[in-house]
Amino acid sequence: MDFNQERVTTIHDFCIDNEKMSRRLHDLSLVRPSVIIIPMLYEEVENEPLTHIVDQLNECECVKQIVIALAADDIHQYKTVMRFFRRLKLPHLIIWCNGPRITGILEELKEKELDVTQFRGKGKDVWIAIGVASLEAYAIALHDADISTYSKDLPAKLLYPIIEPELNFMFNKGYYARIDMENHIMHGRVFRLLVRPMIETLLRNLKYESDVLQYLKAFKYTLSGEFAMRSDLALNIRIPGDWGLEVGLLAEVYRNTTLKKICQTDLGYYDHKHKEVSADTSEGLFKMTRDIMTTLLRIVTETTNTPISESFLHSIQVKYKRLSQDLIRQYHADALCNGLHYNRHMEETYVDSFSEVIMDTGKDYLNNPSGILLPDWTRALAAMPDLRKRLRDAALKDAEACRKSK
């Protein structure tokens, strides 16, 4: 059993009473209401995990509202998602993040010299949803829409450390074992074979001069898409608009609060949809690794005096590869003792590919080190004070128009 505490407080699940926790959150909901954000693509409405998530949420009594941040190509897809969520009994709001009403408001914001229309994908959708959710919530939790092992206890575990006055954390990051227990497979390739060894490599190269990287190393699953935070913190952080979202968010949290207000919580076993490996590095798993690597390089630039150069990139590439190969040996031993299927050759192949991505991404970063962060909400509200309310009202108008068009 792991009892270890890290640089950030770790809340283990030794014997958490989930029912007691949920009742406590329900009692506190009048003074400290919470909202869950679920970013999703239209395609996920056709997948079994989302149906399971809705069934579990219908048994969850500790949250005030669910906000679905939807990316849909057209009105037909939007209406399909609206029909799907009729089965959700909790109060909920579907925000068509790339729909004409929301886009029109963001175009007005652009005219005020604050452009978020240049962003695409999960980061922008989460940014929009945070603004709307913060109108109602003391605390905001976020999780993905493709969790096949979802439980009604997950929101309570994320929110309790934030809402409980005796704890009063500002940010809570979920962590879990990425093991498919049904098929006995170890997942989490990008974290295991890229992020963890790369953070360690950067720390060794920088002689541990980066407090932020040491803080990132303390998280048991840096790439977890499940977290919760207080609304006032959410309004003051900038988030990446790409697949660097989770790592970049952690760095922003570090900048905007103190370590004693940050924790991580054990969510148990976890499985979801896995990114496909593609020969095209502009999409799929390799697109994710490129975005994450860019975020890590930006963190190094912002928090240390070490210049990013080709020699620096060559150095971390060599050290990263050795560290990753050592980890493969360790993962193989762990998998063998637990009876898990583990393809050691395939793991080595991933490391070879990630190693090439490191150099390609690093060279691109040298040519264009500009940031890809969305503005924080404090700045957005300075430019357009009623922006959050207008986005919420646009979502409500979309829903009303959908109902009338039956």
User: Do residues 365 and 256 both lie within one domain?
Assistant: no
Does residue 61 sit in the same domain as residue 48? yes
User: How high is the mean pLDDT in each 10-residue block of the chain (406 residues)?
Assistant: 88 95 96 97 93 96 96 96 97 97 98 93 94 97 94 97 97 93 92 96 88 95 96 95 89 96 94 56 76 93 91 96 97 97 96 94 88 90 98 97 84
Q: Please tell me whether residues 254 and 135 are part of one structural domain.
A: yes
Looking at residue 188, its pLDDT comes to 92
Contacts of 9 (CB under 8 A, 6+ apart): 169, 260, 262, 263, 264
Does residue 197 fall inside a structural domain? yes
> What was the pLDDT predicted at 67?
98
Is residue 99 located within the same domain as residue 115? Answer: yes
| Residue 231 included in any domain | yes
First to last CA, the chain: 55
Give the pLDDT of residue 167. 97
Nearest CA to 96 among 360, 396, 341? 396
Do residues 171 and 294 share a domain?
A: no
Strands 227-230 and 139-142: antiparallel
In the chain, what are the helix, strand and coil shares in percent, each to the nearest 5?
55, 15, 35
**What pLDDT score was predicted for residue 330?**
97
Q: Identify whether residues 44 and 161 lie together within a single domain.
A: yes
Catalogue the long-range contacts made by 111-116 (C-beta closer than 8 Å, 24 or more residues apart). Answer: 112/383, 112/384, 113/383, 114/375, 114/379, 114/380, 114/383, 114/384, 116/374, 116/375, 116/380
What pLDDT sits at residue 272? 66
- Give the structural domain span for 43: 1-178+224-272+376-406
Query: What pLDDT was estimated at residue 251?
Result: 95
Q: Count up the domains in the chain and report the number.
A: 2
What is the predicted pLDDT for the residue at 121? 86
pLDDT at position 283 is 56
Same domain, 174 and 298: no
CA 202 – CA 209 distance, rounded (Å): 10
The three-state secondary structure class of 39 is strand
Query: Residue 184: what residue type?
Result: H
> How high is the pLDDT of residue 41?
95
Same domain, yes or no: 367 and 401: no
Q: Measuring CA to CA, which residue among 294, 306, 83, 125 is closest to residue 194?
A: 294
- 112 and 167 both lie in a single domain: yes
pTM above 0.85, yes or no: yes
Q: Is residue 183 part of a domain?
A: no
User: Is 184 among the domain residues?
Assistant: no
Q: What per-residue confidence (pLDDT) applies to 244?
A: 87
Same domain, 346 and 286: yes
* 22 and 129 assigned to the same domain: yes
Instruction: Answer whether residue 160 is part of any domain.
Output: yes
The CATH number of residue 393's host domain is 3.90.550.10
Tell me how far apart the alpha carbons of residues 61 and 50 are, in angstroms, rounded to a whole number. 19
